[in-house]
Copies of this chain bind each other. A is one copy, B any other.
Amino acid sequence: MHGKVQTPVFLPVGSQATVRSLTPGDLDEIGIKMILCNAYHLYLRPGVDLIVKAGGLHKFMGWDKPILTDSGGYQIFSLSAFRKIAEDGVVFRSHIDGSEHRITPEKAVGIQQELGADIIMVLDVCPDSGSKKADLAATIPVTTRWAERCRQAYRDNGQLLFGIIQGGIYLGLRKTSAEQVTALDFPGYAIGGLSLGEPKSAMWDTVDCTVDLMPYDKPRYLMGVGSPEDIFEGVARGIDIFDSALPTRVARNGALYTRKGRINVRRSNYRDKLEPVEVSCGCFTCRNFTVAYLHHLFKCEELLAYRLATIHNLFFMNRLLGEIRGSLGSGRFEEAKADFLSGYQTTHEDARIEQKLRSVETKRRKALTDC
């Protein structure tokens, strides 16, 4: 293990062994204690062999604090072009070059054990959020059997292998999945397959129901959820670990968090704002640069824009989690939550905006590939 982590904690996403635009030193300065990388991405590129040769994922990317790797379950279903699930495992085509790959639960664990993350995840079936109940129901026993096979394949070297509970927004399916997966006695459990386009109320109803079926004394991880307001809602329900690409992705689009809600510094009314994003913020960006300068960098599409914005949003998230931990310690969490939410104007992400942001990133990557 690479250090202790206090919970609740938010993990920035560094799928490809880098939190976009930041060095490990930047993350450290922000105060980040743990990040998420994706076994799916790293298996495809640069390949597990190379990372093993480099001495493991921590050494490869120069980050000496804890890492959690996702197994690839979600990525195979959201990113890869073609996929076929069988009892044995999943066959999919790489989103990079179309090559065909087959991942079994055993292989998913093997990959993550070789990468050497501190927390690793079982391989799960993570269907589209629009799936019909009957289709989803059919995948629950597969997810359970895969979890069991992952547990069998796991060789104890100090890494923690977490189980994943699926079931979409169907409380009955969640109940089945939770009972079956927790019976396998993992050291921690995740709620997967949420924040995929379903209404917020359905998501929280599902979390409410699922959390009740998870052991109280083991870490509970809500995968893919991480807006400031969602963190409060999740913590209120007993969630310990969150991850989401949202704070870093919206940062690269110019949307910066403040206590009052997100502001988009690319808007013309920020051209002249010769103040930090938040006067009370202690992040590197706010200590050194004005909103007007950030506005200028975004307007020019200068690379520094993405970095400075990312630093601010991660600092905001990290500070928020620190405050939440403090309020839990002093028994004043509900007060802190009410206080934050009363001042914070929520920006509702919808699938359309998310899709647009992703497509811009893809276009940029494509443009760069041409050279």
Whole-angstrom CA separation of A25 from B296 in the bound complex? 19
- A104: interface (CB < 8 Å): no
A20 touches B304 (CB 8 A): yes
Of all chain B residues, the one with the shortest Cβ separation from A62 is B288
A residues apposed to B, CB below 8 Å: 16-18, 20-25, 45-46, 50, 53-54, 60-62, 253, 271-272, 274, 288-290, 292-293, 295-297, 299-304, 306-308, 356-357, 360, 363-371
Q: For A288, list chain B residues within 8 Å (CB).
A: 23-25, 62
Q: For A303, list chain B residues within 8 Å (CB).
A: 20-21, 303, 306-307
Q: For A50, list chain B residues within 8 Å (CB).
A: 271-272, 292, 296
Q: A21-B307, A302-B16 are in contact. Are A367 and B371 (CB under 8 A)?
A: no
Whole-angstrom CA separation of A302 from B61 in the bound complex? 13
A301 touches B369 (CB 8 A): yes
B23 touches A304 (CB 8 A): yes
User: Could you tell me the dominant secondary structure of chain A's interface residues?
Assistant: helix
B371 touches A356 (CB 8 A): yes
Whole-angstrom CA separation of A253 from B371 in the bound complex? 7
Whole-angstrom CA separation of A22 from B21 in the bound complex? 11
Whole-angstrom CA separation of A370 from B366 in the bound complex? 14
CB distance from A126 to the nearest CB of B (A): 23
Of all chain B residues, the one with the shortest Cβ separation from A299 is B45
B367 touches A363 (CB 8 A): yes
Partner of A45 from B54, B300, B308, B360 at Cβ < 8 Å: B300
Whole-angstrom CA separation of A226 from B368 in the bound complex? 24
Of all chain B residues, the one with the shortest Cβ separation from A293 is B60
B17 touches A296 (CB 8 A): yes
Whole-angstrom CA separation of A74 from B121 in the bound complex? 57
A302 touches B18 (CB 8 A): yes
Q: For A62, list chain B residues within 8 Å (CB).
A: 288-289, 293
